[in-house]
């Protein structure tokens, strides 16, 4: 990498991280300490620095959601004045370390705030301690640096550390790019709507309330109160569509950062989990499970599923709506890859048929494989007419849904089996294929003798 490119990369990283930084260190007000000098340099670079000598209480945690990053000392002692020179008991030392780990865990649970740990101890010792506590699950996003690394050319060392950090943890770089574009889209969305009317939230929320209100309902306010979560869901979908349309998708990413990590660094289970997050929301004990949603997936047993296709506007108008479901199963059979050469056809590379095929049994075998097999071509599964496949859901490689299996069931009868929700455009594709299948016109078959 040329010197100019490296400088541009460093400036890009600095611009991405600019914002509010939280520093927690018991020596932050000591003008001779290294953390005091680091704090001054960070402010000189354009950051807003919030300083604490002790770990703050949990009241401020909600304020840390949009923090650029956190710098915390590994050992924060609750002492001051002449007591600083006293010998710290080992039990107190361990309590201080535990407090730091607890703070990092609680912050990391609520946000993806990057965390710097500055210390004078070895990295391995700190990693061992982090693994002893709940911090273990967040250890990959924690960056540990020695305070002495910042004693000379502090600002340069700090920016280089940010670059080293994002190269080690590329998710932080992607997070900062996304935050930047989301901030722009948010402002564009609300400025556009405010130019029309500052009362647009009242107007749109009333539209969604009226849409959900049954024609027979005589107590509008009571209905809205009871169905507020569902109405809010529809209102939030509307806002997200407005917001989504204003995101700049032409934002380019830095190849020198993202291209350093090869796919071989992930195992198959990691890749499946990442792809699942793109198309499927898994419900947990904190999810609102009182209402039915389009795309709800129900697990009947280890191998059987039900998928709700009914439109959201119909689901919103009833306390216990009927769901329009199709049945699905976990599909574990091999898919075929077909390759036609000049004198032969290959199935999965290993099964080859040479032309011309004179053996009638061989020809029937090939026809049977083509007629009954499922082919995988260019990243897609070629489906038969009454079926649809969805990949990477519920930690399964493939689920197969049968369009002939359509049935109606009340939401409350199957509610306890709900595990999550299939997202657009995947649920939309299945709805469209299901609709085309149900309402297709039966055609008279053409005599094959005229064509073969």
Could you report the per-residue pLDDT of 120-138, keeping only the tens digit for each?
777 788 888 888 776 767 7
How many degrees, rounded to 5, is the angle at CA 67 between CA 78 and CA 118?
45
What was the pLDDT predicted at 24?
92
In terms of pLDDT, which residue wins out, 226 or 402?
402
User: The pTM is what?
Assistant: 0.71
Structural domains of the chain, with CATH: 3-79+86-168 (3.40.50.2300), 177-258 (no CATH), 263-335+374-438 (no CATH), 338-373 (no CATH)
Is the predicted pLDDT of residue 262 greater than 60, yes or no? Answer: no
- Average pLDDT of the residues in 315-321: 79
Is the predicted pLDDT of residue 382 greater than 90, yes or no? Answer: no
Name the E strands within 36-114.
Answer: 48-52, 69-73
How many degrees, rounded to 5, is the angle at CA 49 between CA 99 and CA 3?
110
What was the pLDDT predicted at 82?
46
Q: What are phi and psi of 325, to 5 degrees?
A: -115, 155
* Highest mean pLDDT pick, 225-229, 327-331, 337-341: 327-331
- The Cα 307–Cα 295 span in angstroms is 6
In terms of pLDDT, which residue wins out, 137 or 178?
178
* Highest mean pLDDT pick, 113-127, 135-149, 436-450: 113-127
Under the banding of pLDDT at 50, 70 and 90, the label for residue 151 is low
Could you report the per-residue pLDDT of 272-296, keeping only the tens digit for each?
888 999 999 998 766 666 788 899 9
- Average pLDDT of the residues in 345-368: 74
What was the pLDDT predicted at 7?
64
For residue 23, the tally of other CB atoms under 10 A from its CB is: 23
- The Cα 442–Cα 252 span in angstroms is 49
What was the pLDDT predicted at 152?
67
- The Cα 247–Cα 251 span in angstroms is 9
Name the percent of the chain lying above pLDDT 90.
23
Under the banding of pLDDT at 50, 70 and 90, the label for residue 355 is low
- The Cα 382–Cα 375 span in angstroms is 5
Is the bond preceding residue 356 a cis peptide, omega within 30 degrees? yes
For residue 302, the tally of other CB atoms under 10 A from its CB is: 6
Is the predicted pLDDT of residue 430 greater than 90, yes or no? Answer: yes
What was the pLDDT predicted at 4?
56
What does pLDDT average to over the chain? Answer: 82
Is the predicted pLDDT of residue 341 greater than 50, yes or no? Answer: yes
| Nearest partner of 253 among 189, 188, 181, 187, judged by Cα | 181
Under the banding of pLDDT at 50, 70 and 90, the label for residue 85 is very low
What was the pLDDT predicted at 83?
47
Q: What's the count of helices (H) and strands (E) in the chain, helices before strands?
A: 15, 17
Could you report the per-residue pLDDT of 394-422, keeping only the tens digit for each?
988 899 999 989 999 999 999 999 999 99
- Average pLDDT of the residues in 110-116: 81
């Amino acid at each position: 990498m040329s010197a100019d490119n490296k400088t541009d990369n460093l400036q890009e990283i600095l611009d991405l991280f600019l914002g509010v930084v939280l520093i927690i260190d018991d020596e932050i007000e000591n003008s001779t300490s290294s953390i005091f000098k680091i704090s001054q340099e960070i402010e000189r670079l354009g950051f807003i620095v919030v300083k604490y000598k002790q770990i703050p209480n949990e009241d401020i945690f909600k304020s840390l959601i949009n923090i650029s990053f956190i710098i915390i000392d590994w050992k924060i002692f609750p002492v001051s004045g002449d007591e600083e020179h006293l010998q710290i008991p080992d039990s107190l030392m361990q309590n201080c370390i535990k407090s730091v780990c607890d703070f990092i865990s609680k912050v990391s649970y609520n946000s993806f705030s990057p965390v710097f740990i500055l210390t004078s101890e070895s990295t391995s010792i700190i990693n061992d301690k982090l693994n002893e506590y709940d911090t273990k699950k967040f250890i990959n996003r924690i960056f540990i640096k020695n305070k002495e690394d910042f004693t000379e050319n502090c600002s340069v060392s700090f920016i280089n550390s940010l670059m080293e950090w994002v190269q080690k943890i590329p998710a932080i770089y992607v997070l900062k790019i996304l935050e930047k574009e989301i901030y722009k889209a948010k402002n564009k969305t609300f400025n556009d709507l405010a130019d029309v009317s500052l009362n647009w939230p009242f107007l749109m929320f009333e539209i969604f309330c009226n849409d959900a209100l049954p024609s027979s309902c005589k107590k509008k306010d009571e209905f809205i109160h009871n169905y507020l979560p569902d109405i809010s869901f529809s209102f939030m979908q509307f806002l997200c569509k407005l917001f989504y349309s204003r995101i700049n998708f032409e934002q380019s990413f830095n190849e020198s950062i993202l291209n350093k990590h090869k796919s071989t660094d992930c195992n198959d289970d990691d890749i499946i989990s990442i792809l699942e997050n793109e198309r499927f929301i898994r419900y947990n004990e904190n999810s609102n499970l009182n209402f039915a949603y389009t795309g709800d997936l129900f697990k009947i047993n280890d191998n059987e599923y039900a998928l709700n296709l009914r439109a959201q506007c119909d689901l919103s108008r009833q306390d216990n709506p009927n769901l329009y479901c199709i049945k699905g199963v976990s599909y574990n059979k091999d898919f075929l890859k077909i390759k036609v050469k000049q004198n032969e056809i290959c199935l999965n590379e290993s099964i080859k048929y040479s032309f011309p095929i004179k053996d009638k049994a061989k020809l029937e075998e090939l026809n049977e494989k083509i007629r009954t097999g499922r082919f995988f071509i260019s990243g897609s599964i070629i489906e038969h007419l009454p079926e649809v496949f969805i990949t990477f859901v519920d930690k399964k490689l493939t689920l197969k849904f049968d369009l002939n299996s359509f049935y109606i069931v009340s939401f409350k009868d199957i509610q306890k089996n709900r595990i999550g929700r299939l997202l657009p455009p995947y649920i939309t594709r299945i709805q469209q294929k299901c609709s085309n299948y149900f309402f297709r016109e039966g055609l008279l078959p053409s005599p094959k003798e005229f064509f073969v």
